[in-house]
Amino acid sequence: MGKYLSDDSVGIIGIHGTGGIGKSTLLKHINNDFHRLITGRMFDLVIWVAVPHPVSIPKIQSQIAQRLGLSFSRSTGSDVPVNRQAKLLFRELSKKRFLLLLDDLRERLDLAMVGIPLEDPAENGKIVFTTRSSTVCTDMGADGTVTMKPLDRTQAWELFCSKMDPEDKVLENPSVRRLAEKVVDDCGGLPLLLIMVGRAMAGRSDPDEWKDVVRAMDASEEVPDRVAPLFALKLSYENLETDIMRSALIFCAMYPVGWELSRAELVEFWMGEGLLDGGDGIHESRKRGQALIDGLLYARLLEAGMTDSEHKVMVHDAVRDMALWVAEREDPEHGILVVSEEQLLTGVTMTERREQVIRRIWMRDLDLGVWSSSPIPNCPNNWTLLLNHTSVGSRLLSGFFRLMGSLRVLDLSDTELEEIPDEIGLLAELRYLNLSWTYVTSLPMALGGLVKLRQLVLAHTHLLRSIPREAIAGLSCLQVLNMWDCGYYWHDIDSSDASVAAAPGEGDRQLELCDLERLCQLEELHIGLGSSHAMGSITGFGMLCRCMRRLGLFRNREGLPPAVYGQGGAISRGGFDGSLMELPPVSEDGGRAWVGLLHVSLDELPQLEWLFLGECAGETTRVVAPPECSNVLRKFVVLRSDVLKVLKFVGRFPNVQQIYLENCRGMEELVLDGDDEHDDDGGAGRVRWWDSHFPKLRRIDLRFLPALKSIGRRPLFLPSLETLFVNGCPLLSRLPLHMNRAPKLREIVGEEVWWDALAWGGSNAGEVHNFFMRVFEPS
């Protein structure tokens, strides 16, 4: 493979082999090694594409565009937008030497129609794809092919044994060892199966159990159209500890091949279905959900995501095939209907029995606007309906709701929906409802009849203006209410104010904060308020303060008090009971900026995870972490602050992963080590360089800070730093980096003019420059 990548005469490379042989693993190794490929000047950009099935050129284009930093609107499938997008991709890719990785190609793909330049591999780049068929390599005109072969018997045995527990000494029993050798032979040298079966059989000392496995694997060879022994995969599935884990895996099988699944989103859906119930609150349920995902990862039934291994997971295509097979034939309680293309709707037919056992339906990324009635049969026992990113009208939804009285999870986010039909009140079992990024202007009173609803997501519903009190007040089981960046205007808190009796044109009393106070099961609240008076008075609602996670002030026309949080702030220090997780920009649309010092002490905000400051940032802004403070701050962002000149971090920030500063035109100094003897840190204490102020900091973004001159006063120890992005900072002449103090640094992205002008101090300046030159990437 290395020879092909370095050979300028080779433009297209095919990797072929049977399912489970390790093709995708090899492609992942190439992708994960892209920093070496880039810094070695082999390529400017590496692009990973999970090929959808059936092949969809618009979806492939969308993945490439995302990697290029471009934004494509959802395609209607016509040739015109495809051609237009192809031209745009061709123009952008022609400027770079790229490596395009296509995973799981099952038929010839017209690269020209996608927009891939192929004129000169030496100038443009290369394409590497994986496939199960050597014919696809021929059809794609591959200049070079790599054939993945099964492991030989010795290699297969060693891999299998490595997944067994050596302390159990199971394989020392001659009877078990003979049977284990037969199991290894039946795995056909496929690494995926060897690993999964090895882990599933670890600790099994009873020879009869091994005999059952041998018989079942021999029988599975008779199942047609299986590229790998079905039982080897099914064994891992059946070996999962609980039915909940098995149900969760089948849920993941709804997603298309190559799809990266958000861990957080999966957990929210599973909570909605009731898989994670424990009677101990949302936080503990989420912990169980994350542990469940970790268990599926360990069993190799899930894989870490390609673009974000920390927050996303994937399902191997062979595992997905097995899970869908189980759901269809052997586990009637977990039926799935997956519709990935509009044209497939015309062929959806099911027996009456099949209709009764469908539990989950995936119909994402479709255009259903042309359908006047439900395109799917009656599924009265369905639990989950995922329609996000799908064009769907109110009339069609009415039909869905009449047919799915058992629905528990309904995702309508990004659907361009303008109206929620009253029939939503028929969903008596609904527990999770997501309406974020829709165009709804009001909520129906029928919503208030959903007495089992636990999570209601209205984030980014910018047109939402009317919420009758009855739509929310009756949700007695509601645990999460997310109205972040919502268009609904929370008026002054005084409920006697006649102005809040009804929104313009509405005859019903509108929702007030005092109504939320009566939601006795509420654990998490995300809202923005409409006036600084409301912001300053909200501490009168004790229950809301205890469950507040994000709080902001939007559309403020009055100007802000001198401070919202900090020394002498308008919000009392103890008012939020340590529950606030995010302090966002609080001065949008004309609010008055702070002047002088803004002081944020994290000892009063132990649950704060994201700290956002906009125009509210003071001329000097200090973020202080006293030594006794157990803070969980993960992300710090400052946007559009012309007042800010000095930003100073004082103390130790053990969990911060990203610092992002953008469009702060007056900012001159960023102090990441503000704990020296000149700082009045209020007892923050000194932090020794080898302890690190920011042990988990992975990324620093400095964008359009034209006055910035300094980052830190000495070289910093940043043991986890991977990326430093600098753009529009012409006066920044030094970096606080040392060869031995940023061991994981993988890239410094910036303008070449800025890089060439950097000064590297010390007697070994040239050596330091050359050391960091290897990770520099021109922006």
The enclosing domain of 72 has a CATH number of 3.40.50.300
Considering only CA atoms, which of 686, 692, 688, 684 is closest in space to residue 626? 684
Residues 10 and 126 placed together within one structural domain of the fold: yes
Final residue before a domain boundary, out of 238, 262, 297: 238
**Nearest Cα to Cα of residue 636 among 608, 598, 615:** 608
126 in helix, strand or coil? strand
Domain membership of residue 634 (yes or no) is no
Same domain, 174 and 81: no
Owning domain of residue 125? 2-147
Q: Are residues 9 and 129 in the same domain?
A: yes
- Say whether both 18 and 107 belong to one domain: yes
**565-581 per-position pLDDT tens digit:** 433 333 433 444 455 55
Is 738 a domain residue? no
* C-alpha dist (Å) from residue 585 to 368, 592, 636: 37, 12, 11
For residue 73, which of 389, 351, 382, 341 has the smallest C-alpha distance?
389
> What is the rounded CA–CA span in Å between residue 750 and residue 723?
11
Spatial contact of 571 and 583, defined as CB atoms under 8 Å apart: no
Block residue for tokens 């609240």: 525
For residues 72 and 209, state if they share a domain: no
What is the token pair recorded at 335? 């039926």
Same domain, residue pair 181 and 134 = no
Helix (H, G, I), strand (E, B) or coil at 101: strand
Cα–Cα–Cα angle for 552, 555, 557, nearest 5°? 115
Q: Is residue 753 part of a domain?
A: no
- Do 125 and 186 lie in one domain? The reply is no
Same domain, 18 and 80: yes
**Is residue 277 in a domain?**
yes
Final residue in a domain of this structure, among 132, 147, 162: 147
Tell me which residue of 77, 73, 64, 79 sits closest to 414, measured CA to CA: 73
Domain termination site, one of 122, 147, 172: 147
Long-range contacts of 394-402 (CB under 8 A, 24+ apart): 394/418, 394/419, 394/420, 394/421, 395/421, 396/368, 396/371, 396/372, 397/421, 397/423, 397/424, 398/423, 399/373, 399/374, 400/374, 401/426, 401/427, 402/426
Residues 110 and 205 in one domain: no
pLDDT of residue 163: 87
Nearest CA among 413, 399, 247, 226 for reference residue 322: 226
- Number of structural domains (the chain) is 3
Residue 132 is which amino acid? R
Contact 254, 362 (CB under 8 A): yes
**Residues 326 and 250: beta-carbon distance below 8 Å:** yes
Rounded CA-CA distance 754/770 in Å is: 16
CB 386 within 8 A of CB 364: yes
CATH code of the domain in which 321 resides:
1.10.10
Residues 203 and 99 occupy one common structural domain: no
Instruction: For the chain, list residues with pLDDT below 50.
Output: 39, 74-80, 224-225, 227-228, 342-344, 346-347, 492, 494-506, 555-577, 584-595, 676-687, 689-690
Residue 327 structure tokens: 């759901």
Asked if 517 and 543 touch (Cβ cutoff 8 Å), the reply is yes
Q: Is residue 623 part of a domain?
A: no
Residue 98 within a domain = yes
Query: In terms of residues, how long is the chain?
Result: 779
Q: Quote the crossing angle between the two packed helices 243-252 and 317-325, to the nearest 10°.
A: 120
Asked if 142 and 125 sit in the same domain, the reply is: yes
Residues 123 and 219 in one domain: no
Does 450 reside within a domain?
no
Look at residue 71 and tell me if it is in a domain. yes
